[in-house]
Amino acid sequence: MSRCFNFSAGPSELPLEVLEQVRDELLDFRGTGCSIMEISHRSKAFTEVHNETQQMLRSLLDIPEEYDILFMQGGGHMQFSMVPLNLMAPVSADPSRRGGGCYIVNGTWSRKAAHEAGRLGGISIAAEGDETNVPQQQDLRIPEDASYVYYCDNETVHGIEFNYVPDTGRVPLVADMSSNILTRPFDIRKFGAIWFGAQKNFGIAGLTIAAVRHDLIGRAPENCPVMLDWKSYSSKNSMLNTPPTFAIYIANLVCHWLEKQGGVPEMAKRAAEKSGALYSVIDASDGFYSGKVKPAFRSRMNVTFWLKDESLNDLFVEEAAALGLKNIRGHRSIGGMRASVYNAVPTEGATQLADFMKDFERRHG
């Protein structure tokens, strides 16, 4: 068997120990005589996994009881719709007049989220970044009657990460943390809601999680489709219908793995080491490699860079792959290279990629 170092932006690498445990209990899940994929979501064996996963996530992220943890499907794109449907609150006695969402836009995913919210109600833009930076607190314009302020904590395509939590006063703050959840401690009490897809740092595609403060649940309009109302998940412990059982099981194993590794603080330390190793090579390369994101906002998860001579791109990708360093091509919308160093990518993967980059520069620079 030969496993590569996988720098995919998502779905992405899983911890080897998790995959091994899946393999070991695939045919007979803990004495049930069936795989976990073959048992009812209401069975004792599965509900134990489901409840434990919620509890472990609560503890890993220090989420207090005033927040509900919801397990959903539909991915990030469904949350782009659910956030406005659930949070655009009535601004007057007339329930059809709802306060708009206010969006900080600085990359692909916040732009998509703002666009979808704009289809569903009024929105305003608090500030716009130029896809190399993060708008700063003093630049945010937040209308008084905004129902919420929304931003994306880590823009996966461009590799831009917020270096602060916006202060929005009394207006609830909502964050898309799809690509950096569980990679650094943060204080959820500063947020009304956060959400993330599982397929980068919490397992596999098919599971989407939100942590929502109680008072923000139950605000969706009467005619909101049941499956798009956070309340439907919160009132039924995310078991309104059949949940994505296999994805929840994988998330459970990832929680155990994270705990064993030392939890979120340890992940933060490793993320700084891994991304730091790559940014150091870029900065020392005298233009052979260059990044576009301003250093203060460089993502610790998605390291984006360009080769000065783009005719070397294919060779760079091929040679890296031959060394087992895979999936480093940049997003199709912006080109270049992108190495995603999520939690499951070992530090050794990042150092081997950094060594390869130095060697490639020596031979072609």
Ligand X SMILES: Cc1ncc(COP(=O)(O)O)c(C=O)c1O
Query: Would you say 302 is a known binding-site residue?
Result: no
Tell me the C-alpha distance between 29 and 110, whole Å. Answer: 40
Interface with ligand X includes 152 (CB under 6 A)?
yes
Nearer to ligand X, 75 or 221 (CB): 75
Interface with ligand X includes 116 (CB under 6 A)?
no
Residue 292 is given by DSSP the state -
- Nearest in space to 7 (alpha carbons), one of 358, 350, 355, 363: 350
Inter-residue contact 167 to 20 (CB < 8 Å) = no
- Nearest in space to 216 (alpha carbons), one of 155, 281, 171, 163: 171
Q: Please tell me whether the peptide bond between 90 and the residue prior to it is cis, using omega within 30 degrees of 0.
A: no
Contacting ligand X (CB under 6 A), which of 5, 29, 71, 109? 109
Which residue among 68, 200, 229, 274 is the active-site one? Answer: 200
**Could you tell me the smallest distance in angstroms from the CB atom of residue 72 to ligand X?**
11
- Interactions with ligand X, residue window 272-331 (CB under 6 A): none
Query: Would you say 111 is a known binding-site residue?
Result: no
Helix (H, G, I), strand (E, B) or coil at 294: coil
- Interactions with ligand X, residue window 183-222 (CB under 6 A): 197
Tell me the C-alpha distance between 215 and 230, whole Å. Answer: 12
Among the residue ranges 174-182, 213-221, 238-246, 270-278, the one whose residues contact ligand X (CB under 6 A): 174-182
Inter-residue contact 36 to 43 (CB < 8 Å) = no
Nearer to ligand X, 156 or 245 (CB): 156
**Could you tell me the smallest distance in angstroms from the CB atom of residue 102 to ligand X?**
18
Query: Would you say 241 is a known binding-site residue?
Result: yes
Name beta bridge partners: 160. Answer: 155, 298
Among the residue ranges 69-77, 280-288, 346-354, 355-363, the one whose residues contact ligand X (CB under 6 A): 69-77
Contacting ligand X (CB under 6 A), which of 11, 75, 118, 121? 75
167 flagged as catalytic? no
Consecutive H or E run containing 104: strand 101-105
176 flagged as catalytic? yes
Interface with ligand X includes 171 (CB under 6 A)?
no
- Nearest in space to 134 (alpha carbons), one of 116, 112, 115, 110: 110
Site size toward ligand X, by CB under 6 A: 11
Contacts 24+ apart (CB under 8 A), 348-352: 348/5, 349/5, 349/6, 349/7, 349/274, 349/325, 350/273, 350/274, 350/275, 350/277, 350/278, 351/277, 352/5, 352/323, 352/324, 352/325
Which residue among 68, 109, 195, 274 is the active-site one? Answer: 109
Interface with ligand X includes 178 (CB under 6 A)?
yes
Residue with tokens 């590569």: 4
Interface with ligand X includes 76 (CB under 6 A)?
yes
Quick one: tokens of 19? Answer: 């995959």
Contacting ligand X (CB under 6 A), which of 7, 10, 204, 360? 10
Among the residue ranges 84-92, 171-179, 287-295, 335-343, the one whose residues contact ligand X (CB under 6 A): 171-179
24 flagged as catalytic? no
Catalytic residues: 109, 176, 200
Q: Which residues are annotated as a binding site?
A: 42, 109, 156, 176, 199, 241-242
Contacts with ligand X, residue ranges (CB under 6 A): 10, 75-77, 109, 152, 156, 176, 178-179, 197
- Binding-site positions for L-glutamate read 42
